[in-house]
Structure 1
Amino acid sequence: MVTIAVDGPSGSGKSSVSRAVAARLGLAYLDTGAMYRAATLWCVRTDVALDDADAVADAVRAMPLTSGLDPAAPTVSLDGTDVAAAIRTTEVSSTVSKVATNLEVRAELKRRQRAIIDDEATGGFSGGRGIVAEGRDITTVVAPDADARVLLTASEEARLRRRSLEVHGAADAAAVAATRDQVLRRDRDDSTVSQFLQASDGVVTIDSSELDLDQTVAAVLAVVEQVVPEAPSARA
């Protein structure tokens, strides 16, 4: 079984980097953060109060979620409807921590994430597809036995700039200010239930503050090559 686990705070670049690594190595790609966003959207659309922890947990356990694992075109569907764009709205971004810090929700989504990883990451590079899974607690909780475990970090300034460009298409003072709460508050809230600000034992830290996407992907591939040297694509 070949599994690559990538964690990191908001704006660290973990999604773009993980997708690129998965595509480079011919692996499946799982965005676990999208699952929490989808759970939030499901609760909103089914009129579940996000402050009602028990009701939220029940709703998420019943949630008809499908995650498409192609790194070139990952998909997220609820009850057969594509919600990839809907889960990235400001409404979801501003409330997702209420769902993500619900311990019963985390237990349910962890169960689903592990099932996906176990199903995809079989056979190794010689026979199976393998998977890159990214999120907040993949290296520590969901897949602590992953072949390669990486904590992707970046300075606060770099993370705010990247998220501002992603959300607002600009990184001027106004755009950064509008993004600050979404990035820093989410990190603060989510850090109460998962460890993604400091690397645990055996997890390699990569600081991407001064790296572009290609350089960061190369740094992750170097980690993979070191721990899984039989992966020929990692040296391509």
Structure 2
Amino acid sequence: MSKALVIAIDGPSGTGKSSVSKAVASRLGVSFLDTGAMYRALAWSCVDAQIDLGDADAVAEHCRTFDLRMGMNPKSPTVAVGERPIDAEIRQDAVTSVVSQVATNLDVRANLKQRQRDLIAQGAEATGGCVAEGRDITTVVAPDAPVRILMTASEEARMARRSKQLKVAVASTRSQIVDRDRADSTVSQFTTAADGVVTIDTSHIDFRQSVAAVLRVVQEVLDGDPELSTSAG
């Protein structure tokens, strides 16, 4: 029986993992899941519903019931709560500045991790595979994924990339990069590779080279596992 090609990619902010993961999924013709967007969606939904983010129980209860819908086409991934698209809203400072309060809630993490596993399975069944990226995909959400990669980069490279994306000064991105990583690292390990996880350092390579590096790792796994090769096409 053939196995789905699940590719788990972890890493801190600013390593390029989201854009690289989408490109890799597009190249392979498989689904794509941005797990970080799920935490952002919950943060947005809590703010929209006027739920106190400091009330861990209330946030966890809202998480259990909110209607999160993730579109997994890597060429046009979408995020919605109910019928309302919130792709732009979850990238705004109002969400970025509070998302760690949601992401460090252990009950929330338990709920969203199960949702992530379900989405990965659904995406893999639909397309033969799924690229899932986030903070603890390689170790907790999909530790048995055939391909597991940790993308890293120096703090300087990460801040430079994020400032370019946001078109702001490098110094103003520090809280988004360093402070958020520090908060999230209290509940998730995403700075060092676990056993069996391949590390790709993107500090001194560009986007195209980063995509190629991931695809090389994928091809090595495919070459060594005929069952994966047949399912991935």
Aligned residue for 2:52, secondary structure, equals coil
2:42 alignment partner in structure 1: 39
In 2, Cα distance between the equivalents of 1:184 and 1:93?
13
Bigger drift between 176-185 and 114-123 goes to: 114-123
Give yes or no for contact 2:10–2:17 (8 Å, CA) kept in 1. yes
Give yes or no for contact 1:139–1:203 (8 Å, CA) kept in 2. yes
- Give structure 2 stretches of 5+ with no counterpart: none
1:222 alignment partner in structure 2: 216
In 1, Cα distance between the equivalents of 2:217 and 2:173?
31
1:165 alignment partner in structure 2: 164
Q: Give the number of equivalent residue pairs.
A: 225
Q: Which amino acid aligns with 1:64?
A: D
1:130 alignment partner in structure 2: 129
TM-score by length of 2: 0.93
- Give structure 1 stretches of 5+ with no counterpart: none
1:206 alignment partner in structure 2: 200
Q: Which amino acid aligns with 1:48?
A: I
Q: Which amino acid aligns with 2:148?
A: R
Residues 1:179 and 2:173 aligned together:
yes
Residues 1:120 and 2:123 aligned together:
yes
In 2, Cα distance between the equivalents of 1:82 and 1:228?
36
1:1-236 to 2 correspondences below 5 Å? 1-122=4-125, 128-167=127-166, 169-170=167-168, 175-229=169-223, 231=229
In 2, Cα distance between the equivalents of 1:78 and 1:130?
25
Give yes or no for contact 2:14–2:161 (8 Å, CA) kept in 1. yes
What is the CA distance between 1:122 and its match in structure 2? 3.4
TM-score by length of 1: 0.92
CA RMSD of aligned residues (A): 1.5
What is the CA distance between 1:93 and its match in structure 2? 0.5
Give yes or no for contact 2:72–2:123 (8 Å, CA) kept in 1. no
Aligned residue for 2:80, secondary structure, equals strand
What is the CA distance between 1:75 and its match in structure 2? 0.3
What is the CA distance between 1:91 and its match in structure 2? 1.0
Instruction: Report percent identity of matched pairs.
Output: 58
Give yes or no for contact 2:32–2:123 (8 Å, CA) kept in 1. no
Q: Deviations over 1:174-225 (max 9, x none)?
A: x111110111000000011011000000000000000101100000001001
Q: Which amino acid aligns with 1:206?
A: I
